Amino acid sequence: MTTPSPISAGLRLRCPQCGRGEVFSSYLKFRDHCRGCGADFTKADAGDGPAVFIVLIVGAIVTPLLIVLQFGLQLPDWLALSITMGAAVILCLALLPPFKALLFALQWKHKAREATHEDVE
Ligand SMILES: [Zn+2]
């Protein structure tokens, strides 16, 4: 069995070990194990990483959008803000699962885990 690239597995929401089984049982909840290879996902924890990346990416997209809508097209403030906020919410909800799976796949590949006192000694 070949291990898929973490980018490919993560963006396709697939297992970082086999690339077949789905990593989520619901919107952002990890499965306990892979249905393809049985890999244990119980220690999966991407933390706040995906949200941080999403905020940066979505902010970089919707900020110019707001400027164009408000100053370029001169839409009323309430309409420009409504379009921008709607776009921000939709983009955040759409990008969170693939980024969470991507960071989990990168953690899996590099065997990243929370640091302990044994790591310092
Ligand atoms: Zn698997």
Q: How far apart are CA 108 and CA 117, in angstroms?
A: 21
Please, which residues have CB less than 5 A from ligand 1, an ion? Answer: 15, 17-18, 21, 34, 36-37, 39
The answer to whether 72 touches 80, Cβ cutoff 8 Å, is no
Task: Please give the pLDDT value at position 120.
Answer: 72
For residue 67, the CA-to-ligand 1 centroid distance in Å is 44
Task: Please give the pLDDT value at position 111.
Answer: 79
* Residue spans per domain, the chain: 6-112
For residue 94, the CA-to-ligand 1 centroid distance in Å is 23
Q: How far apart are CA 33 and CA 44, in angstroms?
A: 10
Q: What is the mean pLDDT of each run of 10 residues along the chain (121 residues)?
A: 87 94 94 93 84 95 96 96 97 95 91 74 71
Nearest to 50 by CA among 111, 95, 105, 15: 95
For residue 99, the CA-to-ligand 1 centroid distance in Å is 18
The answer to whether 111 touches 3, Cβ cutoff 8 Å, is no
For residue 47, the CA-to-ligand 1 centroid distance in Å is 21
For residue 59, the CA-to-ligand 1 centroid distance in Å is 33
